[in-house]
Structure 1
Amino acid sequence: MENVLESIEFTYDGNDLGAVYTPQYTIFKVWAPTVEKITVVLYETFSDDLGQRHSMTKGQKGVWELNLQGDFKNKYYNYLVLNNGVEKETQDIYTKGCSANGKKGMIVDFSSINPVNWENHLRALPINRTQAIIYEIHIRDFSVWADSGIKNKGQYLGFAEKDTKTPEGIVTGLDHLIDLGITHVHLMPVYDFASVDETAGGYNWGYDPYLYNVPEGSYASNSNDGTVRIREFKTMIQALHENGISVVMDVVYNHSFAIDNSPMDILVPGYYYRRDENGNYTNGSGCGNEIASEKLMVRKFIVDSIMFWAREYKIDGFRFDLMALHDIDTMKEVARQAKIINPNIIIYGEPWTGGESSLDQSKQVRKGSQRGLQVSLFNDDMRNAIKGDNDGNWAGFVNGGGGLQAEIKKGIVGGIRYSNEICNFAQEPGESINYVSSHDNLCLYDKFEKSNPSNTPLEREKMNRLALAIILTCQGVPFIQGGTEILRTKQGNHNSYNSGDAVNGIDWSRKAEYMETYEYIKGLISLRKSQKVMTLDNDYEVIKSLVFLESPYNSVAYQLTSNFKEDFSKLIIIHNSNNGEIKIVLPDSNEWKVLANEYEVDKTGVSKGTKTCINEVSIPSISTYILCR
C-alpha cells in the first residue's frame, strides 16, 4: 500500500493542509488516503471534554475536507479517525496551535495574536552565511539562574527584557548578546515537544517532537491558552530582530517522540516511518524510529513546515538534527523553498545519523554530498583537531595534542580544497560550520578540566580562549555554544538533556570571574565583523587571499591579503598551542600593528603588551596574536 501512496494519484501539492481560518468559515483538510472515516471534533475551550462532531468528506488525492461556516477564531479541534473498525482521536499534524501538552489542536487567527507591529518590525540587515556568528542556547538555560536579573526566568519573554544585570551589576540576557556582537541566536528546540509536562514544568533539551508547527508551551507564561505561546514566542523573535539579532530554529524532522499513537501513524498508518524489508521500524535516529523523508508526502510535510516557520514566525535559519537521516532531494527542496522566502536564510545540520538507517547511504546528507546545495554542515574534524575527543582524555591542538597543525589548517580554510594536502569536505567555505563545542557532550571548560587536570586554571582558561580564537578567525561559519565566552560549566555532565537548571543554567557570576576572556571573545567578534577577508564565501577567494607562513611545531601562522576597501590590506594570524613562547619571522620588514595579543583584542590596536612588531614577533604560550598593516 505504501508504494501505491507514492503514486501521482495520492500526491497532493496544495498549500492548504490543516485548518485554514477566515472570520466567515474554516476549511479543514487532512491527507489520509487509507482510513475509513474522519470526523472533526470542535472544542469551545482548551478545557472542554466534549466537542461538536462534523464529518469530513474524502476527495481527490486522499485528502479529507470540511468547510465549516461560522467564526471559529482560536477555537480547538482534533480529528476522530476510524481505521480497521477502531476509532482514535488525534491532533492534526499540520495544526499551528494547541492546548497544554498538545492535547488539542487549534484553529489559529494569527492576526488577533501578533505582538504590536509584528508584520513590519525591523530585522537584521541581510548578510552572507560566512558573516554570521551563531550562538547556541536553550530557552531555560539563558535566564533561569537566580542572579540573572531576568524576571521571566526560563521563558521566551526572558529574551525580550532589556537592562538586566546581576546583583553585582554585570550585564546579562539580551543586552549581553547585543554587547557580545553575535549575529544569530540558535535556539535549541522550541517546537512542541513531548518530554516535559507543560502544566507542571520540567527540564529537557526537547529533541522529541510532538507537534512540529506549534511553539513549545513550557516556555510560555500560560501553556493552556494556545494563543499565549504564539504571542510570547513572536515577542521574543521581534525583540531579537529589533536588536539586530537573527533567529535560528533547531528542528528535528528525523524522528517523532513515539510511533504508537503519534498523529502521523494514526492518520496514515505505517507511512511516515522507515521500515526494513521485514516490515520492522528502523531506528536510524537512536530514538526508536526514523521519519521517511524520501516519501513524497513526508517530504512535503517537512518543506511545508519549514516554509511556515520562515513566513509566519520570520525565522532566519534552521539547524537540522541528524541531517544524514534526510535524503539529499529533501534537503535540496528545503533550501530552495526557504531561499525563495528569504535569500539569506541559513540551513545547516549534523552530517551523521544516530544509528543504522534503512535510507541508502548514497542518499544521505553526509560530508561531501552537501556541495553546492547552500546547506552547511558541522565540521567535527575541526572540532576534534582543536580539543581532542568530546568526553574523554584525548587532547587536541589547544590542550596538549601534538602534530595537529595540518588538521587545524584544513579548518582554517573552511574545509575547502585549498591544496592536495589541505582539503576536506566543503566546496565553499560557507558549507563548514566551525565549532569546538555544542549542547551535546562536555562543554569546553569541563572538557579541559577532564583532559588537562594537571594544568593550572589559568592555562585552561587560555585553552578555552585559544579554541574560540581559532573558531572566530578561520574561514567558514563560526558557531559557539552559549556561555563558552564566560567558561560555562555543567559540573562535568556530558549529557545533560534532562539534568535540570542547576546543571544547565548559565551562571552569570562567571562573567565577572572571567571578564578578561569575555572581552577577548567580544573583541574577536568585532574584528571578524570588520574584515571581509575573514568571511569569504568562495573557495577561489580563499586560495587567492590566504597564505600559510613558516611556524614552529604545534603552531599555525598565516597571512590574509585583502582587496576590500574597508579592510586592512594585510592580516597575520598566529595560533601558538605550545607551553612556551615561539618566534615567527614576519614576511617583510615593514611595521606591523598588534590587534590581538595574550591580553586583549582591539581592532584599533592593543593597549597592553607589545603594540608593534618589525621583522619578527614573539608569541607567548597558548595564545593567539593578530597583526595588521
Structure 2
Amino acid sequence: MNEYKVDGFRFDLGTIIDKNTMQRIIDELPSDIILTAEPWAADWQRNQWAKSDFRNTRLSKWNDDFREKIRSLINGQANRNDVMTVLAGSCFWWAAKPAESLNYLEAHDGYTLADLFGNDKRKTRLAAIALLTAQGIPMIHAGQEFDRSKGGNHNSYDQDNDVNYINWTVKEKNRDIFDLYSGLIKMRLKYDNFRHKTALNNQQIEWIQPANGNAVGMILKGKQTFLVLLNGDSHNWADFRLPSEGAWTVICNGEKISDQGLGSAVGNYNVPPTTGVILRK
C-alpha cells in the first residue's frame, strides 16, 4: 500500500480464508482501505465463514442474493418479499448496513446481461434501474453500461481474444443504454435517498405492492421523495397507486432519464411490461 498506493483489496473465493485471519485484515488495515470479498468458496473447498459473520464491519460482500432475486424479478418470477429485502440493502438478512452489500447483476464470471437477455433491451434497462436505485454498493462490470456481449461465453478466464477485449464501438451502437446508466449514476450521486449509511426504517422506506405479483414499488423518503416502480412481468402492465396527492415528476420513464423531468403523474401510474420507472416529489 505504501509503495504502490493500493486503495483496496478484493478477496476471490473469500471464505477459504479462515474467520480469524479475515478479522485481522479488517482490524489492521487502515480504515480508508476498501475491502470486498466473494462470500463463497469453490465446490471442493470448505466455507470458513458466512456473510453474517462480518456484520457491522467495512467488509462488503458480493451479494449473490441480489443477483438472483433481481434477475428473477426481471424474468417475471419474482418473490416480492425477497426483492424488497435486497433492494433495501439485504439488511435484516445478513447485512447490518447497506455498505456491507456489494450489489451486482453480472461479473467476470458467468454470462453478461446481454448474453442472458439477448435482444430484449427492456430487461437490460430494467436491470440498470434496479441496480442503481437499490441500497448498497452497486458494481458495474466492464462494458455492462453499454450492454456488452461475450458471445455467450460464461467462463472466459482464459480468453486472450475478442471475447474479453472491450469493443468500444458497441458503446455508440447502444448509446441509449449507456446514457441511461450515466443518468442513473448522476441521480444516485445527487440524491442521498439512494445511499443510506444505516439500515432503513419505516420513516425512510415504504413499499407499494400492486395486484401484479411480479411488480413492486419502493418509496424512498427524504428532502425529496422518490418512487421506484419495477414491473418484471413480460406480458402485463402493473398499476401502482401513488402514495400522496398532487403531481409527481417522472424522471425516468424506463427508456430515458432526466432530472428536469419527462412528464408528470397524478393518482396512479400504469407501468408497462418489463419496465422500471422513477418518480420524484
The counterpart of 2:136, out of the listed 464, 476, 479, is 476
- What is the match of residue 32 of structure 2? 344
Alignment of 1:308-319 (within 5 A): 310-319=1-10
Alpha-carbon distance in 2 for matches of 1:448, 1:509: 20
Instruction: Say yes or no: does 1:330 pair with 2:21.
Output: yes
- What is the match of residue 233 of structure 2? 578
Deviation of 1:345 (Å): 2.4
> Secondary structure, in 3 states, of the residue corresponding to 1:523?
helix
Deviation of 1:543 (Å): 4.5
Deviation of 1:403 (Å): 3.5
Tell me if structure 1 keeps the 8 A contact 2:125–2:254. no
Deviation of 1:405 (Å): 1.8
Instruction: Say yes or no: does 1:397 pair with 2:59.
Output: no
- What is the match of residue 547 of structure 1? 206
- Letter matched to residue 85 of structure 2: K
Alpha-carbon distance in 2 for matches of 1:370, 1:544: 27
Alpha-carbon distance in 2 for matches of 1:375, 1:559: 28
Map Cα deviations across residues 272-292 of structure 1 (whole Å, 9 max, x no partner). Answer: xxxxxxxxxxxxxxxxxxxxx
Instruction: Say yes or no: does 1:507 pair with 2:167.
Output: yes
Deviation of 1:589 (Å): 1.2
Tell me if structure 1 keeps the 8 A contact 2:97–2:197. yes
Alpha-carbon distance in 2 for matches of 1:542, 1:435: 23
Alpha-carbon distance in 1 for matches of 2:280, 2:167: 36
The counterpart of 1:618, out of the listed 270, 278, 281, is 270
Deviation of 1:319 (Å): 1.1
- Letter matched to residue 228 of structure 2: I
> Secondary structure, in 3 states, of the residue corresponding to 1:501?
coil
Map Cα deviations across residues 170-203 of structure 1 (whole Å, 9 max, x no partner). Answer: xxxxxxxxxxxxxxxxxxxxxxxxxxxxxxxxxx
- What is the match of residue 378 of structure 1? 62
Tell me if structure 1 keeps the 8 A contact 2:134–2:194. yes
Map Cα deviations across residues 567-619 of structure 1 (whole Å, 9 max, x no partner). Answer: x421111111122322211011111111111221122223xxxx011111121
- What is the match of residue 252 of structure 2? 596
Deviation of 1:497 (Å): 0.9
Alpha-carbon distance in 2 for matches of 1:532, 1:605: 19
Alpha-carbon distance in 2 for matches of 1:625, 1:414: 20
Instruction: Say yes or no: does 1:439 pair with 2:108.
Output: yes
Percent identity, please: 29
Deviation of 1:526 (Å): 0.5
Unaligned runs of 5+ in 1: 1-309, 388-395, 418-423, 450-456, 563-567
Alpha-carbon distance in 2 for matches of 1:431, 1:313: 26
Tell me if structure 2 keeps the 8 A contact 1:582–1:620. yes
Tell me if structure 2 keeps the 8 A contact 1:399–1:448. no
Tell me if structure 1 keeps the 8 A contact 2:78–2:232. no
TM-score (normalizing by structure 1): 0.43
Instruction: Say yes or no: does 1:496 pair with 2:151.
Output: no
Deviation of 1:503 (Å): 1.1
Tell me if structure 2 keeps the 8 A contact 1:347–1:375. yes
Give me the CA root mean square deviation: 1.6
Tell me if structure 2 keeps the 8 A contact 1:375–1:431. yes
Tell me if structure 1 keeps the 8 A contact 2:104–2:140. yes
TM-score (normalizing by structure 2): 0.94
Alpha-carbon distance in 2 for matches of 1:321, 1:548: 35
Alignment of 1:171-570 (within 5 A): 310-339=1-30, 343-357=31-45, 364-387=48-71, 396-400=72-76, 402-417=77-92, 424-449=93-118, 457=119, 460-539=120-199, 541-551=200-210, 552-562=212-222, 568-570=223-225
* Aligned residue pair count: 279
Alpha-carbon distance in 1 for matches of 2:204, 2:224: 11
Tell me if structure 2 keeps the 8 A contact 1:526–1:603. no
Alpha-carbon distance in 2 for matches of 1:543, 1:501: 50
Tell me if structure 2 keeps the 8 A contact 1:349–1:377. yes
Deviation of 1:382 (Å): 1.3
| 1:508–1:537 Cα change, 3 Å | same
Tell me if structure 1 keeps the 8 A contact 2:67–2:105. yes
